[in-house]
Chain A
């Protein structure tokens, strides 16, 4: 079956006075119908730039320099990159909705929740306010809110968790096939975060949409993702199933990230930071972008940037010429990386 979204060789630059910032470079990945993909990476890895470009909401200073964003629905395959503006407006929300990081700022502060639903519905051709009302009630109940209480409220009257729920409900108004969530639980309290994670899991099972979420938080990916993409310095350094990425990572950066997160239950394991900091995206080093921080780097790593190579488990790629050494250290058992890697 054709993937719902196929991103091919996508590159995005930001114009700055010092020269182009190469925020996203040659990113390719597919999302199947009903699949959840987590894009993980730290600040500056290009994950948010990538996510907003998927619905062409990038800031003016950003420019897609290369690649395709192919979206396939029941009728046709279209390239979002070249889609005319009026079609794009219909595509957003009705085919693909986005839930932003700062849910707090995603509402119009002077209209109540009911009006937010009407605004969004009417902008996308839903004329019948009765229908919008019925749908809003249904969706709010789906995200476990009391429509009677919430619909008349203004954004400032709602707690962070409630706002995030309303926003998720709003994103589902036009039954999109693909939902993009940027840091959906960052800045929420633990118990609220848990309820949002559980909610997203249930919605995905019930409604069957595809989901992309962008996060620096590995734990949410461990909860919700089917497939994982690790980004570093603007490019994909590893693509794997969730179990492969967590138990059998093959890129040293993924290994480093996994070891950097302490756990609450089970053994503490060997926890360590990654030394150094990411490269300057205006002046990228000639070889692998991770070389300066990598404990396994050899001279050949600096020659040229490695391709995404297939590794020892199926549907699993890593941008690392040393992946076999990583494989020797990590092995193939279903055990957390922090429990099997000895501190170098």
Chain B
């Protein structure tokens, strides 16, 4: 399997450049995503993890170009997507596809698999005539492992299992030869026993077709498996707090929030999980997005927080002088992990 190494410097396929997104809610305005920058290389597999309300889904929707940032830019091959018009814009719309969490809701229940998959093929003129379209649909069904394809062509979503429905949703994303798939909790609703095969399917698309994939998940074990040769980004209250190679993040998290998450995860191994070291947070309370604390938004809960620093100054996502490229938004981590000599300028 050829694995595209994300550290190889290449022009990013798609890039979020300091994007923020605010929402009006009863009681005021919240910043769902706050100044997130993220570049995705062609063929890269990246995971965004975080708890509910951290902005991971909003970030994914902005990456897919279906939600316009309140500020900042979305760049596709270096060009501002939201300045694009006409054919250029539809080219972007084709190149970036979104796969949702719940395939029962995202597939039209009154359409057969063939109707669902052939519609975008016709719309984007990927086939000439019915026979051509049918062949293309058959081919896609084989790619996503729904074989023999003829058994599935005339099925309706309710006749399929959750895993099969999610495969149809992935096949639909593939109808238009995308270059990036944003999969938002795409495996969360399928049974444990088949999750890995769906992740492998997505990873296969990446290695065989060079599709970049951004998987958004709350499950760090899934993220580690999926992004094992790529990166994981951890979000907290709208900000990216750490962005690192998957193994480095899991084995040696730099941000105290990433560390707390990893320590909190139960493992499917009684001995390991019952002896795992805990990280005690100062409070379990998550601040409201309507009333975010000043400085680092994690400081009220952070065991490393330093008064006068963390509650005053917003930490920027900065590169660490690390063995693997990684970025972290934490005053203390940056200071502790940077050799003293480099701190004196």
Contacts and interface: CB of A to CB of B under 8 A. Distances in A.
A243 B270 contact: yes
A222 B191 contact: no
A192 B51 CA distance: 10
A265 B224 CA distance: 10
B194 A274 contact: yes
B196 A260 contact: yes
B292 interface: no
Contacts of A275: 197
A191 B281 contact: yes
B233 to A, nearest CB: 16
Given A218-B192, A271-B225, A223 B274 contact: yes
B193 A189 contact: no
Contacts of B200: 273
B68 interface: no
A290 to B, nearest CB: 11
A222 B268 CA distance: 6
Nearest to B194: A273
A193 B161 CA distance: 28
B81 interface: no
Given A264-B221, A265-B276, A336 B192 contact: no
Given A261-B221, A265-B272, A219 B192 contact: no
A239 interface: no
Interface in B154-187: 161-164
B121 interface: no
B192 A261 contact: yes
Interface string A41-72: 01100000000000000000000000000000
A127 interface: no
Contact of B224 (A159, A264, A272): A264
Contact of A263 (B162, B194, B268, B271): B268
B222 interface: yes
B6 to A, nearest CB: 18
A76 interface: no
B218 to A, nearest CB: 7
Interface string A141-176: 000000000000000000101000000000000000
Interface in A252-306: 256-258, 260-266, 268, 271-275, 277
Interface centre among A246, A263, A271, A334 (most CB of B within 10 A): A263
A255 to B, nearest CB: 11
B194 A336 contact: no
Given A222-B268, A243-B270, A264 B250 contact: yes
B276 A268 contact: no
B266 interface: yes
B262 interface: yes
Given A190-B265, A191-B51, A246 B270 contact: yes
Interface in B194-215: 194-198, 200
Contact of A197 (B164, B266, B272): B266
A124 B274 CA distance: 37
Contacts of B51: 189-192
A140 B32 CA distance: 32
Given A43-B191, A261-B192, A218 B264 contact: no
A192 B272 CA distance: 20
A246 B273 CA distance: 12
A218 B194 CA distance: 14
Contacts of B151: none
Highest count of chain B CB atoms <10 Å: which of A262, A264, A273 = A264
A289 B270 CA distance: 28
Contacts of A192: 51, 284
Contact of B225 (A191, A194, A197, A262): A262
Interface string A120-139: 00000000000000000000
Contact of A222 (B52, B218, B264, B273): B273
Nearest to B220: A264
A220 interface: yes
Contacts of B95: none
B264 A261 contact: no
Nearest to A266: B272
Interface in B212-241: 218, 220-222, 224-225, 228
B142 interface: no
B266 A219 contact: yes
A216 interface: yes
B53 to A, nearest CB: 9
A193 B162 CA distance: 25
Contacts of A222: 266-270, 273-274
A222 B276 CA distance: 12
Contacts of B271: 243, 334
A264 B250 CA distance: 7
Nearest to A217: B192
Question: Counting chain A CB atoms within 10 Å of each CB, which of B262, B267, B270, B286 scores highest?
Answer: B270
Interface in A179-208: 189-195, 197
Contacts of A258: 268
A214 to B, nearest CB: 14
B260 interface: yes
15 contacts: A43-B162, A159-B286, A189-B51, A190-B265, A192-B284, A218-B192, A222-B269, A260-B193, A262-B225, A263-B221, A263-B267, A263-B268, A263-B269, A264-B265, A268-B224
Given A222-B270, A336-B268, 16 more contacts: A42-B191, A189-B52, A190-B51, A190-B261, A190-B264, A191-B51, A191-B261, A197-B266, A219-B265, A222-B269, A243-B271, A262-B222, A273-B193, A273-B200, A274-B193, A336-B272
